A and B are shown apart, each in its own frame.
Chain A
Amino acid sequence: MLSEAVIKELEEIRQRYPNARAALLPAIYIAQREFGWLSPEAYEAVSDILGVPKTIARGVATFYAMYKHKPMGRNIVHLCTNVSCMILGAERLVDILKERYGLEPNSTTPDGRFSLVIMECIGACGTAPAMLVNTDFHDNLTQENIIQILESYK
């Protein structure tokens, strides 16, 4: 169940758009924030408030890669392995994450600290390899500094 404040927030978002379906993306984002990930309950909550069938809400959300489609850790590492990053050793970085934290692509560490998502290009080819941790951007990654950076996320 969502709190009154969140319901109000969703209803306000609804008013910004010409119809309820248009408000799905931000509404789903809020539900994800409240439920931690896009659980069936999260979709149901969005559906109840916007009056859009929950199946449609799920269909829309699953189109996008950056929603949490399963429970995830406290910090999400989006690591790019596209051409430039790959050439500059991103795949080695993937191995290092596995060695250091036991973190495999599309999984979460047992302590719930990190989740790893392998991304396509994040537009930092000039300073590759690059990653996003939650919403923070980090580039010019090396085998050394990636650990230093990640150590600051608890």
Chain B
Amino acid sequence: MITVNINGKEIKLEKPVTVLEAARSAGIKIPTLCYHEQLEKYGGCRLCLVEIEKIPRLQTACTLVVTDGMVIRTETEQVTNARRGVLEFLLINHPLDCPYCDKAGECELQDMVEKYGHTTGRFKENKRRIPENLEDPVIVRNMERCIMCTRCVRMCEGVQGASAIAVINRGGHSHIEPFSGGRYDCEYCGNCISVCPVGAIMSRMHRHSYRPWQLVSETETICPYCGVGCTLVVQVRDNVIKRVIPRLGKGVNSGLLCSRGRFGYEFVGSEERLTSPLIKKDGKLEQATWKEALDLVATRLGEIRKKYGSDSIAGIASPRCTNEDNYVFQRFMRGTIGTNNIDSTASLGYAGTLRFIENIFGGGVTANQISELSNSDLIFVAGGDPTTVNPVFGLKIRACSRNGGRLLTIGHSKGLRNFNPVELRPQLFTETVLLEGLVTALKDRKGLPGSNKKIETRIKDINISVDDVEKTSRVSGKDVEKFANLLSESVTPAIVIGRELMQSNGNSYKFLLLSAISYLINGKIYLLSERSNEQGVIDMGCAPDILPGYKSVSDSEFRKRYESVWKTAIPEKQGLSLSGMIISAKNGAIKAMYIMGENPVYNLPDSKEAEAALKNIGFLVVQDIFLSETGKIADVVLPALSWSEKEGTFTNMERRIQLLRKAVIREGKEDWRIISNISGNMGVKFNYSDAEDVFSEISSVSPLYKGLSYKEIEMGNSIYPYKGETLTGGEDIQIHKGKSITAVSRLYLRIERPLFHSGTLSRRAQALLKVYPEAVARISPLTAEAYSLKNGDKVKVSTKKGFLELPVAIDDGLENSVVALTNNFEGKGAFSLIEYTIDTVTNAPVIEGIEVSIEKGGG
């Protein structure tokens, strides 16, 4: 126990902390500017100077660590004089342009000067002049205002790990700049904006359009983009979102955000938003009233069901919609329509992976807390770059490396390359052998623990020597040994499974191998998740074979539970999966389809096939916030409310349930309400008053959520396992090894998931478009040389399915055998070039081994 005396007050401390922390814990205020609790200590601003007995000079409270018996004074004349002096020095150069500085009102320097500073300055010299830099489309730098606290630099280097800005020059000439001196070439996380105490680094998006005190409402909600589920504060003025900021200590992100979360909100106010229902008349979509549209949908669905049976109707739910929306949607499909033909794009990889691994280890095995990642001693990343798919999750991996943990990667993880990873890069299509080799090596090192017979019988069959691995994958035996040694020595390992693996050839077998590795080293498994409610949409039973709470639709007892609440029968027969729906639509078995918040014509692999199939459907209903590619071919389009306009819950990748709150008021209906209206018109009345009401039904019926309420979620008691029953794995392990692919083509297609885009939403966010304006074809420098291409050259990228004309971007992080394309821009989606097969176990599309050719020129 350490006892210190601050201003005459005895303070007892458990462990040696800094003087500042000790004072704050006792409620004693010491002003600071360069100090920030997320960042490394700096001691640069000198505002926190305090007097310490027996030390002749004033000391910085933020860096000095207390010792037993220390006597500290924070409010003596000497201290207040020093403080006033420091502020006077800062104001030598800091302009007094507060009247037109956006920061005024929330500026830390302004507050400090107001509280502790002189009323006048004694310096008569001119202030330094550095013109405001407006070269960047998103971030404005005003270096006259900079006080050189270097919070932004410490954030960029020490937390974000991007090192995109640094202090340039020396002394009075020093200021902060990105490498180019103008435009940023960075991850655009904007975390430098968050930590800037003055108006030196600011967002350009809402420049001069508000005063901090005019932001009438502040709403804490959850990010609409990826599966991490960051907590955001949405600030609104005149019913328009002015700004999205993180908040220190709140949520899984605790004060950090990524580019999509911070700058991607503009889609909400986009002029392209649908405002009224549309009905197709003579081949053209025309505006209609809600009554007309809802009546038409109910009547037509009723007719089709009567004529062709319930199973001629199918529904696609949305990993972007809330749990409540999805729950009501599957109730509608199962109870009102009477079919289990319901699925979502979560089945394009995430769902299959999750359920495969849960079947081995039991439910909730992937529900590991994101915050624990940074304390792991080893993280093994397989199949993709976590720093672009789930950026804030990626930061935790970077933090792990910084804390002394080892990073191991297989394949392409550009965002981790500067964090000292041990990288294994097997030849194309040979990851399986490499993983088999690792399982064999670990089995020899660790032995079988004996706790899970199901996986152990499988592990016993895997015997691939290091030499075999070297022969096939060209990864040297020494590297494999090193990799295996690191894995086996780790005490708290984590395994991260990325999207590329989820859609790879023989993915179920690869998951088995990764599960085996995890089992042998006792690791925690994390699955990357692209959509904000990808986990929730499965939890809510938007899958053809399970009800909300993960029990099979063929389980009559479980079915009865729902039937008694819904007062309708639920069919026993398993429905069609997403790919099954497309096939059935193509051959005419599906007569009507209801799509909620999804854009299959764009978001399904082989989007051309999907489009042809959907065009073949007699009656297509699309419910969305924009007139998407799918909406354009629909018979009825219903406008929904978007993320910040409604309440509900999202379940993130660690299965934490979080509340969405309404920040903007917009006329319209929530997805669940539209569906309830239609169900009512079809004679099955849903009596939900609001989203909370829907959730209370979910928690009363689903054993998984037993006893959970909005109140509990608000208190943070929504981490898995909830209070309800956990799930256990059941069936035998099925695997599908996939077809063998040998690399013959010069180039293969890879679907890239860029940091700045997600698709339909981000395309309508101006800031993200300015940073990443168009679809490109990424190739390695060597490929570029071979085809004599340079950045920006147009190329024609062709596969068996078709071609796209795109500008080239040369990326030194890519393999020479890869052309990386995105699926984010209208008319330029890579999914239109894809031919795929379906993995028979995970039901995920296999997008691997697609031969591609490039040709200079194009249109």
A63/B179 in contact, CB under 8 A: no
Spot the interface stretch: A3-11, A48-56, A98-106, A124-132. A48-56
**In whole angstroms, what is the CA distance A54 to B169 when docked?**
15
B170 in contact with A59 (CB, 8 Å): no
Whether A59 and B168, one on each chain, are in contact in the complex, defined by CB atoms closer than 8 angstroms, is yes
Is A58 positioned at the interface, with any CB of B under 8 Å from its CB? yes
**Interface residues in B487-537 (C-beta closer than 8 Å to A):** none
**Interface class of chain A by DSSP:** helix
* Inter-chain contact B168/A58, CB cutoff 8 Å: yes
Given contacts A40-B179, A43-B179, contact A53 B168 (CB under 8 A): no
> Range of interface residues on chain A?
10 to 19
Q: Considering the complex, give the chain B residue whose CB is closest to the CB of A44.
A: B179
- From A53, A58, A63, A64, contact of B418 by CB (8 A): A53
Inter-chain contacts of B166 with A (CB < 8 A): 55-56, 58-59
Bitwise, B168-187 to A at CB < 8 A (1) or not (0) is: 11100000001110000000
Other-chain residue from A40, A56, A65 in contact with B163 (beta carbon distance below 8 A): A56
User: Considering only CB atoms, which chain B residue lies closest to A54 in the complex?
Assistant: B179
Closest Cβ of chain B to A9, distance in Å, is 23
Known: A56-B157, A56-B163. A51 touches B170 (CB 8 A): no
Report the separation of the CA atoms of residues A19 and B157 in the bound assembly, to the nearest whole angstrom. Answer: 17
Residue from A54, A58, A63 in contact with B170 in the complex, judged by beta carbons closer than 8 Å:
A63
Per-residue interface assignment for chain B, residues 137 to 170, with 1 indicating a CB less than 8 Å from any chain A CB and 0 otherwise: 0000000000000000000010000011111111
In the assembled complex, the CB of A40 is this many whole angstroms from the nearest CB of chain B, namely: 7
Picked from B169, B170, B179, the residue with its CB within 8 Å of the CB of A55 is B179
- Contact (Cβ within 8 A) A53 B170: no
B167 touches A55 (CB 8 A): no
Across chains A and B, the number of contacting residue pairs, with CB separation under 8 Å, is 31
A55-B164 in contact given A40-B179, A43-B179 (Cβ < 8 Å): yes
A62 contacts chain B at the CB level, 8 A cutoff: yes
Q: Name the CB-closest residue of A to B165.
A: A55
Beyond A54-B179, A55-B178, A58-B179, is A63–B165 a contact (Cβ under 8 Å)?
no
Taking CB atoms, residues of chain A closer than 8 Å to B168 are 58-59, 62
Nearest chain A CB to B54's CB is how many angstroms away? 35
Contact status B163-A63, CB under 8 Å: no
* Whole-angstrom CA separation of A51 from B163 in the bound complex: 12
Binding site for A on B (CB under 8 A): 157, 163-170, 178-180, 418
B180 surroundings in chain A (CB, below 8 A): 40
A102–B10 Cα distance when bound, in Å, is: 71
Residue numbers in B under 8 Å from A55 (CB-CB) = 163-166, 178-179
Shortest beta-carbon distance, B92 to chain A, in Å? 21
A40 to B169, CA, bound (A): 16
Measured in the bound complex, the distance between the Cα atoms of B180 and A54 in whole Å is 10
B479 to nearest A CB, angstroms? 19
The CA of A63 and the CA of B177, in the complex, are separated in Å by: 13
In the complex, what's the smallest C-beta–C-beta distance from B218 to chain A, in angstroms?
Answer: 34
Residues from chain B with Cβ under 8 Å of A63 in the complex: 169-170
8 Å CB interface, A25-79 against B = 40, 43, 51, 53-56, 58-59, 62-65
Top 10 nearest A-B pairs (CB, nearest first) are A59-B166, A53-B163, A55-B179, A55-B166, A62-B168, A63-B170, A62-B169, A59-B167, A54-B179, A55-B163
Listed A/B pairs (28) with beta-carbon separation below 8 Å:
A40-B179, A40-B180, A43-B179, A51-B418, A53-B157, A53-B163, A53-B164, A53-B418, A54-B179, A55-B163, A55-B164, A55-B165, A55-B166, A55-B178, A56-B163, A56-B166, A58-B166, A58-B168, A58-B179, A59-B166, A59-B168, A62-B168, A62-B169, A62-B170, A63-B169, A63-B170, A64-B170, A65-B170
Q: Which residues of A contact B170 (CB under 8 A)?
A: 62-65
For residue B418, which residues in chain A have a CB less than 8 angstroms away from its CB?
51, 53
**C-alpha gap A144/B166 in the complex (Å):** 45
Chain B residue contacts of A65, Cβ below 8 A:
170
A53 to B153, CA, bound (A): 13
Cβ distance A43 to chain B, nearest Cβ, rounded Å:
7
How far does the alpha carbon of A64 sit from the alpha carbon of B174 in the complex, in Å? 12
Residues of B within 8 A of A62 (CB): 168-170
> Told that A53-B418, A55-B163, A59-B166 touch, could you supply 14 new A-B pairs with CB distance under 8 A?
A40-B179, A43-B179, A53-B157, A53-B163, A55-B165, A55-B166, A55-B179, A56-B157, A58-B168, A58-B179, A59-B167, A59-B168, A63-B170, A65-B170
Tell me the smallest distance from the CB of A100 to a CB of chain B, in Å.
30
By a CB distance below 8 angstroms, the chain B residues around A56 are 157, 163, 166
B164 CB → nearest A CB, Å: 6
Q: What is the CA–CA distance of A37 and B166 in the complex, to the nearest angstrom?
A: 20
Q: For the complex, give the distance between the alpha carbons of A103 and B263 in Å.
A: 49
Assembly CA distance A138 to B164 (angstroms): 42
CA of A58 to CA of B166 in the docked complex: distance in angstroms?
8
Please indicate the chain A residues that have their CB under 8 angstroms from the CB of B157 in the complex. Answer: 53, 56
CB-CB < 8 A to B163: which residues of A? 53, 55-56
A55 to B168, CA, bound (A): 9
What residues of chain B lie closer than 8 Å to A40, measured between beta carbons? 179-180
Docked Cα-Cα span, A65 to B418, in Å, equals 29
Q: How far is the CA of A43 from the CA of B169 in the complex (A)?
A: 15
Chain B neighbourhood of A64, CB < 8 A: 170
Task: Name the residue of chain A whose CB is nearest to the CB of B176.
Answer: A59
Smallest Cβ-Cβ distance to B163: which chain A residue:
A53
| Chain B residue with Cβ nearest A63 | B170
B168: nearest chain-A partner, CB-CB? A62
